[in-house]
Amino acid sequence: MTGKNQVPLTRIQAGQEGIIVRIEGGTRLINRLAALGIRPAKRITKVSSAIMRGPVTIKVDRTQVAIGFGMASRIMVEPVQAIP
Amino acid sequence: MNILLMGNPNVGKSVVFSRLTGVRVIASNYPGTTVSYTRGHMKLGEETVEIIDVPGTYTLEPTSEAEEVAQQMLGTGDVVINIVNATNLERNLYLTLQLLERDVPMVVALNMWDDTGHRGIEIDLDRLSELLGVPVIPTVATTGQGIKELVSSIPDAASPDTPVRSRDERWTTIGSIIDQVQRVTHRHHTWREHLADATVRPFSGSIIALAVLAGAFLVTRLIGEGLIGYVLEPLFNSLWAPVLLRLSDLLGGTGFLHEILVGNLIDGQLDFVQSFGLLSSGLYVPFAMVLPYIVSFYLVLGLLEDTGYLPRLAVLMDTVMHRLGLHGYAIIPTLLGLGCNVPAILATRILESRRGRFIAATLISIAIPCAALQAMIFGLVGERGVQYVAIVYGTLFVVWIILGIILGFAVRGFTPELLIEIPPYRLPPWRTVLQKLWIRSYGFLLEAVPMILGAVFVINILYFFGVFHAIADFTAPVVTGLLGLPKEAITALFIGLLRKDVAVGMLAPLALSAKQLVVGTVVLAMFFPCIATFIVLLRELGVANMFKAAGIMICVAITTGGILNLIL
């Protein structure tokens, strides 16, 4: 994890894949997200992007999770170039 | 002996419970269907054991009231059946490890086993069982596959010595287990998944949501009207009416007993809506006006619940719901409220904060009309024209929004953010759909019909002794002055405390204008919860908050009624 190309989850495009680098939050948030399979080093795909600060939906393993905008903006990901 | 069914939300615990005990419970395809525990019994060899269906939880550190229940239940169990979603082993194992650390004998049921094949997942069951130190049984609860094996594995439930680990240590352990037991073949996106994704995108999703909700509404009306027009109305008119008329003759056409049993004849004829006797309106209202809509509403709701659409609706509605001081998931209790407010208020337990629960419960009990009330609105207001039904619904919707915005501002605290798992779409299993329809319709018959008969009886007694006249004179300034209704309408508002459907029915004999009927129904819908809702509000919110909610209800109902009276 180089860390030079990190963006919040809210900033990547729908359909884009990324690897979670870190979660900027307290233990409670980290625990709640981890329980849903969202934790560092996980590969995720963004399913829908938010308008009007609405929730972000991502795919992680074989489930989809909808995450409120505020939480999503604290999840830092490194975008992965999709293989064409 | 006590056996707890525990696992992540939406892994099928309630379906397994139903299979084990034969007790019918409501199961749906969204996380948080079960908000409280259900007990049932099962024969295990010679012994009768108790099985407890526990609300789903991701970890043993609860984040909502429903999860707290799970945490508390754990202390009472002798054996845990940990139900795990086989298609999502990694995440589910976190709770499994936490449970293993608790020294309770355990068996793992690897549910939704049939889904693993076409999702390209292979799991080495023997190795998994070896690594966890407990029996692992593959199951498909919806078809019953593996349930027998699960039962016979209970005596082998084990509690291996497991050290208490930290969060990161647990994830490391899980990583190593997954590496050893699971192999996933990569698959490309199917067209179904593309379609599924479209339902959560803001633009395409909103269009789909409108279509789904409009479709649901139309189908509900179509089935409801069909049942009434082609089945129940003819039945009552051709079979029951002659019997009642004969009875009326036998009773001499008037008198106390006639009033109570048959009610008032209108021009010598029986009118099932207006006569208001126990055997006329008392039976016609619940069976021919309300029941058809209960059946059609719950059939449609059950299908929606089981496809897995509702959490997607929650995502789409999140931005709107935040304006009301709630988050998107509050749309699920709200939709349940269109059936009956009682389970809806219980379902607010899936919300994380007490503030959210207060706002959601208050909004539901004021602005969300239950199916019984809606059936009467269709029946009575609909007679005067569709536009009036639209005014009633429009008003309730506007009140829902405005009151929500006010409460969102006024109730202190902050709105937690949405964080939910979105289940995959599934074809609704007919067994759970029909089972739910049965539980809910039967529940209506069991609880509502005696209540309706009781309400009709009370009305007749009070009328007969002229009690209402005294009250009507006393409340006339508000009822007539402010709301523009005849002073007798207060009786309907009073009966609204028992049952709203009967209360709307009581407006029928008052010869109201269409406008008055609209004002009357809206005020009735919002004024005060029916007794069943009142009790559940009291239990869920506590006395102080219940009084707050009730105060809001009365103010909002009278204000809205007054405004409608002025502008219509």
DSSP annotation string for B75-107? TT-SEEEEEEEGGGHHHHHHHHHHHHTTT--EE
pLDDT tens per residue across span B37-78:
889 999 998 899 999 999 999 999 887 777 888 888 898 899
Which residues from B are below 8 Å from A16, CB to CB? none
Interface size, chain A vs chain B, as Cβ–Cβ contacts under 8 Å? 94
Q: With contact defined as beta carbons under 8 Å apart, do B7 and B82 qualify?
A: yes
Chain B interface test: which of A9, A17, A63 (most B C-beta within 10 Å): A63
Collapsing DSSP states into helix, strand and coil, what is residue B253?
Answer: coil
Q: How confident is the model at residue A82 (pLDDT cuts 50, 70, 90)?
A: low
Determine the pLDDT at residue B344.
Answer: 95
The identity of residue B229, as a single letter, is G
Cβ-based neighbours of B324, under 8 Å, separated by 6 or more: B330, B359, B363, B401, B404, B405, B407, B408
Residues 6+ apart with CB under 8 A from B188: none
Task: Provide mean pLDDT across the span B335-340.
Answer: 95
Residue B104 has pLDDT above 60, yes or no: yes
B122 vs B465: which has the higher pLDDT: B122
> Is residue A84 over pLDDT 70?
no
Looking at the partner chain, which of A35, A39, A54 has a beta carbon nearest the beta carbon of B59? A35
Residue from the list A31, A55, A65 with its beta carbon closest to the beta carbon of B328: A55
Residue identified by tokens 């309907």 is B492
Q: Most B CBs within 10 Å: which of A62, A65, A74, A83, as the mutation test of the B interface?
A: A62
pLDDT at position B242:
94
CA distances from A54 to A12, A68, B148, B209 (A): 14, 7, 45, 16
**Residue A44, pLDDT above cutoff 50:** yes
Residues contacting residue B36 through CB under 8 Å, at least 6 positions apart: B55, B66, B69, B346, B349
Do the Cβ atoms of A35 and B328 come within 8 Å? Answer: no
Residue B272, H or E segment: none
Q: Mean pLDDT over all residues of chain B?
A: 92
Q: What is the pLDDT of residues A12-36, one digit of tens each?
A: 999 899 999 999 999 889 988 998 9
Interface pTM, i.e. ipTM: 0.92
Beta bridge partners of B43: B48
Among residues of chain A, what percentage have pLDDT more than 70?
90
pTM for this entry: 0.91
Q: Is the pLDDT of residue B312 over 80?
A: yes
Q: Is the pLDDT of residue B193 over 80?
A: no
Mean pLDDT confidence for B190-214:
88
Q: For residues B82 and B93, what is the distance between their CA atoms, to the nearest angstrom? A: 10
Q: What percent of chain B has pLDDT over 90?
A: 74
pLDDT digit string, tens, across residues B340-358: 999 999 999 989 889 999 9
pLDDT tens for B267-305 read 888 899 888 899 999 999 999 999 999 999 999 999 999
A4: distance to nearest CA of chain B, Å? Answer: 25
Q: Report residue B4 as tokens.
A: 């707890």
β-pairing, A75-80 vs A17-23, is antiparallel
Instruction: Give pLDDT, residue B459.
Output: 87
CA atoms of B9 and B54, how far apart (whole Å):
10
**For residues B392 and B377, is the Cβ–Cβ distance under 8 A?**
yes
The b/e string for B171-196 (b: 16+ C-beta within 10 A; e otherwise) is bebbeebbeebbebeeeeeeeebeeb
CA-based nearest distance A9→chain B, Å: 14
Question: Cα distance from B5 to chain A (closest Cα, Å)?
Answer: 19
pLDDT tens digits, one per residue of B506-549: 999 898 999 999 999 999 999 889 999 999 999 999 999 999 99
What's the whole-number mean pLDDT along residues B480-506?
A: 91
Within 10 Å of residue B464's Cβ, how many Cβ atoms?
11
What integer is the mean pLDDT of B122-132? 96
Q: What is the pLDDT of residue B197?
A: 86
Distance from CA of B385 to the nearest CA of A (A): 38
B311/A66 CB distance under 8 A: yes
* B318/A51 touch (CB, cutoff 8 Å), yes or no: no
Neighboring chain A residues of B94 at a CB cutoff of 8 Å:
34-35
Surface of A (53-82) touching B: CB under 8 A: 53-55, 57, 61-71
Query: Is pLDDT of A1 > 50?
Result: no
Chain A residues within an 8 Å CB radius of B91: 35-37, 61, 63
pLDDT confidence of residue A83: 53
CA atoms of B75 and B296, how far apart (whole Å): 41
Displacement of CA B62 from its chain's centroid (Å): 23
Nearest to B90 among A14, A48, A61 (CB): A61
Q: Going from the N-terminus, what domains does chain A have, and what CATH number goes with each?
A: 7-79 (2.30.30.90)
Interval B225-250: pLDDT, tens:
999 999 999 999 999 999 999 999 99
Q: What is the mean pLDDT of chain A?
A: 88
pLDDT the model gives residue A4: 64
- Chain A residues with CB under 8 Å of B59 CB are 31, 35
Give the one of A61, A69, A71 whose C-beta lies nearest to B88's C-beta.
A61
| Model pLDDT, residue B244 | 94
Measured CB to CB, residues of chain B less than 8 Å from chain A are 58-59, 61, 63, 87-88, 90-91, 94, 119, 121, 167, 171, 197, 200-202, 205, 311, 314-315, 318-319, 327-328, 416-424
Q: Say if residues B30 and B73 touch (Cβ distance below 8 Å).
A: no
